[in-house]
Structure formats: structure tokens, C-alpha cells
Amino acid sequence: MEMNVQARYGVNPDKEVLEILQAAAKTQKVEVLAKIYWGDAREKLCEAVDDLKVDTFVLGCRGLGPLKRALLGSVSNYVVNNATCPVTVVRGA
């Protein structure tokens, strides 16, 4: 992640999390990319899927109750139904 983006938007990723991701990526020989999208999470996650041309997408869900889900909508449900790739939802994440 470019430092000027961090400074401009006040985004400070957790250093320990970034170190864990970098170590895991090196061990598993995978590429880790951090991107920042601003806006409605549902739409921006689907946009990221298209921008990054991913083969599959894994996301967690908070497990909102029926009332909150009805009022707020479910991000994971939206992504499952609108993403252009297969989506795996991890409950309790």
C-alpha cells in the first residue's frame, strides 16, 4: 500500500496484520495486495472482484439478526448474489 494514500486518507493498517500477511504470502508463494475502496461495502466488494479479476472470493459475515439484516441488508448476501466469481462466506468471522 502506498504511503501517500495512507497519509492522505488517514488509513493505518495494523502493522502486525501486514507482517502476518507478508509472511504467509512468502511461505505459500502467493501475492498479497492491499487496496482501499471508499463507499458502500456491498458495491465496492463487487467492484474489487471485477478490478482484481479474482478467481474466487472469501469473506466473513457478522451474523446479523433477522431484524438488523432486514433493515441494513446483508453485505455477504449481496456479494454472493452479485459478484462475478464464486463466493465463499465464512460465518463467525
Tell me which residues of the chain have a pLDDT lower than 50.
1-2
Task: Say which CATH number the domain at 85 has.
Answer: 3.40.50.620
Residues whose CB is less than 8 angstroms from the CB of residue 88 and which lie 6 or more positions away in sequence, other chains included: 56, 57, 58, 59
Separation of CA 16 from chain center = 18
Model pLDDT, residue 1: 46
C-alpha cell of residue 60? 466473513
Count of structural domains within the chain:
1
* Domain carrying residue 51: 3-91
DSSP 28-67: HT---------S-HHHHHHHHHHHHT-S-EEEEE----HH
